[in-house]
Amino acid sequence: MSAIEQQGVALGGLEQAELPVARANRRRRPTVRSVALRLLGGVLVAALLVFMVGPLVWLSLRAFSGLWQFPRLLPSTWTVQWWRSVFDDKSLAHSIKLSFEFAPIVTVLSAAICLPAAYAFSRLKFPGRFALLVSLFATNAFPKIGLYVSMAGVFYSLHLMGTFMGVVFVQLIGTIVFMTWIPTAAFSAIPRSLEEAARDAGAGPLRVFFRITFPLAAPGILVAMILSFLAAFDEAQGTFLVGIPNYITMPTEMYTLVLNYPEQAAAVFSILLAIPSVVLMSLVRKHVMGGKLAEGFQIR
Amino acid sequence: MTTEARPAGLLIDRVSKDLGGRTIVSDMRLEVHAGELTCLLGPSGCGKTTTLRMVGGFLQPDAGAILIDGSDVSRLAPEKRPTAMVFQNYALWPHMTVFKNVSFGLRLRKLPKREIRERVEHVLELVGLTHHIHSYPARISGGEQQRVALARALVLEPKVLLLDEPLSNLDAKLRVRVREDIREIQQRIGITTVFVTHDQDEALSISDRIAVMSGGKVEQYADPRTLYREPATHFVASFVGAMNFYSGTLAGGAFRLGGGASVPVESLEGHRDGEYEIGVRPEDVSVSANGGPGADALVLREIPRGHYKELVLRVGEEEMRAFVAPDLVAADRLHVRFARALLYRDGLLQPSEKPVAVS
């Protein structure tokens, strides 16, 4: 019997042992206290839902609303003119295109830089390993804008301000933590003996990496790539500072939209901005929660 | 090089290895004949796994050489060695089916598809797993995973098969069955095998020869019977099987224990009287209820063991264990003799000075 099945059996036994107790509880009459607790729980969940979903609902209503005056719960007229105006506006369309250019490039570049580093962090012991790993968090430890302003100083002297590569570099900064930490954990979770067994069977180190290590770490790497893609896609401050006026991506365009357009256009735009996140996040969920990853590592 | 000088099999020639500033294996020499199954037996940390990993190529020896069929492989990477290893945790690749796992090495060697299929099917038949050829490792039981690992090692037809505590993750019943399977397969294909274990029972039941290791050295290298009947050192004697040990004096065919009790010994004619450590297997402690020659013993406990009974006795000030017939009705007081005993001095077995016929 495999380890998973054994666990399952053990857990099953536990549930059965506890069943009589649960039944006894159910039979008891609900007390004032338990009703109050249930009620409180319900209210908390509802509040959380309103807090999280409320703005999204409002946003989607706003994007289709014509006339919407204060006391009314729903807009009095509906329209798609805001969508049309966003898609017709040349600069807005251009920023969408630009965003979808930057994010993949940054993600691939980040993978090329960080994956070898992640492999080294997980498989090699070298002095300063832990310090280096923790220092990757430094970019998240300070207010981002401070970091970007000082980067801007360096970028000026390197003539990177307002250039394509400048924007790529500044977006890269925000992806490094994801791209290093998650794959490091993924590589570390692969028992070394799996690699040794492949060496034993006649595969050289490179072949071992591509046939064994990489496929096993792939779910973790995929998650890291998606999070990096989103980090690059949503990055606004640094891109604004380095990219203007030549490179205006979707998040930086938001600044202009909020100031220059009616609210409804901004609502349309933020829905567009949310689409990749929603799509990619649901992909992550499917691949990571699917249990394939966990199952693979159950073999002892 | 002349062909006559090439010994077949595996030779570990004066190999040493330090890891993390500690000497794990020191100046070890071991020869495994072709087709022989040798167990490396010892407690954890004795260097047995380190030795195996050096043979497999996962560690480089600091000194000495490892020879397979007479050629030095010490500096070769694992993928270049004619060895195949079965790992303690099996190390099956979870993203590949049983077929892909077993055929991995063959596919690397770019063999024709048909030959690969034939060889994989043949080896799976050998370990009795043909019906799981397309299963994923996570979907089969621990014992089956173990056999896939064995098949994966055997399919490459290595010169030396290495097994690193392959049974330690199986439950007790399965362990006995799988070890017999391994022995049977090993003998059928006649492969030179090194088997690492800390379980003396396992070692005694499947080995041609056993190397008992302690502190990075081989304490004794012998066949199971010799190892059990004539353990060369105090360590081997206490590690392999149960052994009663006492220090005392041999005088006039009896051994005087601490506390003054004197136990007659039947088979030590060849030894000079003097101070020794005496080792007696529990089955060599003869007990009798009705007088006869022997030291007085008090029965402290009886432990039924199925086909025999274990008695815990007190003789003088010493505790003694004896294996007796299960139907023996033990009185509170018994007489004990040693039917067979071994004498040690400074931890080493003292050979008798003239040959003695052991009954």
A19 pLDDT higher than 80: no
Task: Return the percentage of chain A with pLDDT > 70, whole number.
Answer: 85
Residues 142-171 of B with CB under 8 A from A: 142, 145, 152-153, 156, 169
A15 pLDDT higher than 50: no
Which positions in chain B touch A197 (Cβ < 8 Å)? 85, 87, 91-93, 152
Q: Is B85 on the interface with A (CB under 8 A)?
A: yes
Q: What number is the average pLDDT over the span A250-262?
A: 79
H or E element at residue A55: helix A32-63
Q: Is A26 on the interface with B (CB under 8 A)?
A: no
At A139 the pLDDT is 73
Band of residue A3 on the pLDDT scale cut at 50, 70, 90: very low
Q: What number is the average pLDDT over the span A26-35?
A: 74
At A296 the pLDDT is 36
At A281 the pLDDT is 77
Q: How far is A129 from chain B (nearest CA, A)?
A: 18
Band of residue A12 on the pLDDT scale cut at 50, 70, 90: very low
Among A44-58, A134-148, B102-116, name the one with the lowest average pLDDT: A134-148
Q: What number is the average pLDDT over the span A52-65?
A: 84
Give CA separation, B130 vs B95, B119, B298, in Å. Answer: 19, 12, 58
A13 pLDDT higher than 50: no
Give the residues across from B278 on adjacent strands.
Answer: B246, B343
Reference B119, options B141, B138, B104; nearest CA is: B104
At B4 the pLDDT is 44
Band of residue A299 on the pLDDT scale cut at 50, 70, 90: very low
Q: Are residues A201 and B105, on separate chains, in Cβ contact within 8 Å?
A: yes
Residue of B nearest to A1 (CA): B141
Q: How far is B93 from chain A (nearest CA, A)?
A: 6
**Six-digit token pair at A72?**
């009314």
Q: Are strands B285-288 and B295-304 parallel, antiparallel or unpaired?
A: unpaired
Q: Is B89 on the interface with A (CB under 8 A)?
A: yes
Q: Is B135 on the interface with A (CB under 8 A)?
A: no
| A294 against A212, higher pLDDT | A212
Give CA separation, B106 vs A84, A199, A289, B128, B159, in Å. Answer: 61, 13, 34, 20, 16
pLDDT in tens, B219-228: 999 999 999 9
Q: pTM of the prediction?
A: 0.76
Q: How far is B206 from chain A (nearest CA, A)?
A: 25
Q: Is A210 on the interface with B (CB under 8 A)?
A: no
Q: How far is A118 from chain B (nearest CA, A)?
A: 21
At B289 the pLDDT is 79
Q: How far is B178 from chain A (nearest CA, A)?
A: 15
Q: Are residues A296 and B57, on separate chains, in Cβ contact within 8 Å?
A: no
A235 contact partners, CB below 8 Å, separation of at least 6: A170, A171, A174, A249, A251
Report the C-alpha gap between A66 and A267 in whole angstroms.
Answer: 13
The list of chain B residues with pLDDT below 70 reads 1-7, 291, 330, 353-359
Which positions in chain B touch A300 (Cβ < 8 Å)? 89-90, 169
**Six-digit token pair at B355?**
């040959």
At A23 the pLDDT is 47
Q: Are residues A197 and B93, on separate chains, in Cβ contact within 8 Å?
A: yes
Candidate from B56, B94, B109 with C-beta closest to A200: B56
At A7 the pLDDT is 39
Task: Return the percentage of chain A with pLDDT > 90, whole number.
Answer: 17
**Six-digit token pair at A136?**
């990757």
Q: Is A88 on the interface with B (CB under 8 A)?
A: no
At B354 the pLDDT is 56
Q: Is B93 on the interface with A (CB under 8 A)?
A: yes
**Six-digit token pair at B32?**
């495994």
Neighbours of B109 (CB within 10 A): 12
At B24 the pLDDT is 92
At B334 the pLDDT is 85
Q: Is A216 helix (H, G, I), strand (E, B) or coil?
A: helix
Place of tokens 């940390």: B45
At B54 the pLDDT is 94
Give CA separation, A54 vs A58, A124, A265, in Å. Answer: 6, 48, 19
Q: How far is A89 from chain B (nearest CA, A)?
A: 49
pLDDT in tens, B319-337: 999 998 888 776 778 889 8
Q: Is B107 on the interface with A (CB under 8 A)?
A: no
Band of residue A145 on the pLDDT scale cut at 50, 70, 90: confident
Q: Is B334 helix (H, G, I), strand (E, B) or coil?
A: strand
